[in-house]
Amino acid sequence: MNNHKIKESEIRNKEKKPVKKKKSTLLDWVIQAVVLASVFFAVTWWQKKDMLSTEQGNLAPSFSLISMQDQLIQFDPTQQSKKTLLYFFATWCGVCHASIDNIEAIKGSVGDSVNFYAIALDWKTKQEVKGFLAQHDLTIPILLGNQQVWQNYQIGGFPSYYVIDENGKLASKDMGYTTELGMRFRLGF
């Protein structure tokens, strides 16, 4: 009986001992940061993989679209004398609402040294696009995109961006939210 009591008390003592937690080391933090960065870059690559290639010096596709002011805007990459930023958005896209103001801020600071066009895709009525624009104070020309432009630029998600250089060649591309600083970097400012 005595042996039984000793064993019970030993068991209770063992149960009461606190479990030592492993201290995080700098190496653990570095490993976590590398894994997180790898996941981020893999997702970013996956999102952009079907967009037009910017590595081969391809000319950007030309287009003719109507602006929100009912003007015909013709974009011909062979007639470019300065960089152009094309921002493709959808009226229902929450990320587009969050990022379009960053594009406007860049336009405000670089002025006319870059051409800016925001192109609405996946819209049904002009009124729908007006509703989106009413939530933002924009000076960027807003163009009403169509299926042909959507296909020519291989837009697979919103927002999507292309930077076109002074020679009309595709220089940079991205999809998803971008900061003002990130877009300045892509534009070379």
| Domains, the chain, with CATH or none | 2-47 (no CATH), 54-187 (3.40.30.10)
Per-residue pLDDT tens for 49-58?
A: 677 888 888 9
Instruction: Evaluate if pTM is beyond 0.85.
Output: no
Pairing of strands 114-120, 142-144: parallel
30: confidence class by pLDDT, cuts 50, 70, 90: confident
Average pLDDT, the chain: 86
Instruction: Please state, in angstroms and rounded to a whole number, the distance separating the CA atoms of residues 65 and 84.
Output: 16
All residues at 6 or more sequence positions from 99 whose CB lies less than 8 Å from its CB, including other chains = 159, 177, 178
Task: Say if residue 168's pLDDT is above 70.
Answer: yes
pLDDT of residue 69: 95
pLDDT at 82: 94
